[in-house]
Amino acid sequence: MSELWIDHLSIEVWQEPVCWTDYFDQVQRILGSPLTHLDVNDPVKRKVASLKDAGDYVCAFKPREDSRWVFGKFDAIGIECSIEHRRQVSDLPNSLMWYVPLSFIEKPENCTRLKALFDLGNLTFKPFYAFSDDVSHIKSKKKSSGAVDIQAELLGVFWMTYFNAAYVAFFGEEKFNDFPKVEYGDDGGVTVLLGDSPKSVSSELREQLVTALGKQSFVNPNEILGKLPGRFALTFQQLLVSKK
C-alpha cells in the first residue's frame, strides 16, 4: 500500500464560499493540521492566508469559466486534495478527492480520523457515491477501453463506501442488511465500512459485496462492451428526479 484515496462524487452546487470555509475548519480539527496551500496549479505554491480566503478561492470562477479545479495541501502531514466542480453539472460530476500517504495511514488512530473525514465530506457535499481505499484497489477498476461513465456503472465497493438514498432505493435497502458494518444516515444514505483499516479487508470481500448488490452495476475492467446510462446505474437526471 502506497497511498489512500477518498473521492466524493456529487451533482450538488458547491459554489458557497462559507461552506468551504466551514468545511476546511472542521477538516483541520479532524486531521490536527492546518491547510497550508491552495492553488489552481499543481504542484501547489500559493499559500493560504486564512480559511475565509480558502473558501473564496475555491469558488472564484472567472467570468467565462464553466468549471474550476483547485489543489490543496496540508504540508505538515503530507496530505493533499483536489476539488473539481462546475457551475452546472451536465456530463461529469463534481469531485472532491483526498490523497493520503502511507506514513499517515500506518498509525491506527489515523484510520479513525479518515473515517471522520469521509463522513464530513458526505454530510457537507451530499455526494451520490463516495469511496475510500488503497489506491491499488481503486486503480484496479481502470478500463482499457477508456474512462468509466459514472452514469452507466459505479467503480466498486471499497474499504469505505457511501451510497445516497437514491442508490439505496435503487439497489434495495434489504441488500445492505448482511454487509459487515453499515451505518444508516438521517438522509437515507448508507455508509459501508469493511474493516478497521484497508489492510484488514480482503479483495474477496470487496468483490463479494459487489456481487451482492449486482455485478452489472459495477466496473468489470475486462468488459469491452459499454453499458447504457441509467440501466445499471443512475443518471444525473434520475438522481435529480429522486430528490423531488
pLDDT in tens, 209-218: 999 999 999 9
Cα angle vertex 176, ends 160, 239, to 5°?
75
pLDDT at 243: 78
Q: Are residues 20 and 117 in the same domain?
A: yes
Instruction: Describe the strand order of the beta sheet including 79-86 as a list of residue ranges.
Output: 37-39, 67-74, 79-86, 94-101, 3-10, 129-134, 160-163, 190-193, 182-184
Q: Are residues 87 and 177 in the same domain?
A: no
Residue type at 153 in one-letter notation: E
Domain boundary among 127, 151, 177: 127
Residue 136 within any structural domain of the chain: no
- Rounded-to-integer distance, Cα 102 and Cα 164, Å: 29
Residue 133 within any structural domain of the chain: no
Categorize the per-residue pLDDT at 2 as very low, low, confident or very high, splitting at 50, 70 and 90.
Answer: confident
Q: Are residues 117 and 8 in the same domain?
A: yes
- Rounded-to-integer distance, Cα 81 and Cα 74, Å: 9
Q: Does pLDDT of 152 surpass 80?
A: yes
Q: Are residues 88 and 117 in the same domain?
A: yes
- State the average pLDDT for the chain: 95
Question: Coil, strand or helix: which one is 130?
Answer: strand
Q: Are residues 208 and 118 in the same domain?
A: no
Residue 148 within any structural domain of the chain: yes
Whether the Cβ atoms of residue 93 and residue 150 lie closer than 8 Å to each other: yes
Residue type at 48 in one-letter notation: V
Going by the DSSP 8-state scheme, the letter that residue 68 receives in this structure is E
Contacts of 64 (CB under 8 A, 6+ apart): none
Categorize the per-residue pLDDT at 87 as very low, low, confident or very high, splitting at 50, 70 and 90.
Answer: very high
Domain boundary among 79, 101, 127: 127
Domain residues for the domain of 67 are 1-127
- What are the tens digits of pLDDT across the range 180-222? 899 999 999 999 999 999 999 999 999 999 999 999 999 999 8
Among residues 218, 232, 237, which one has the least CA distance to residue 148? 218
Q: Does pLDDT of 1 surpass 70?
A: no
Q: How many domains does the chain have?
A: 2
Whether the Cβ atoms of residue 93 and residue 11 lie closer than 8 Å to each other: yes
pLDDT at 45: 96
- For residue 2, the domain's CATH number is 3.30.310
Residue 151 within any structural domain of the chain: yes
Q: Are residues 171 and 232 in the same domain?
A: yes
Residue 135 within any structural domain of the chain: no
pLDDT mean over 73-102: 96
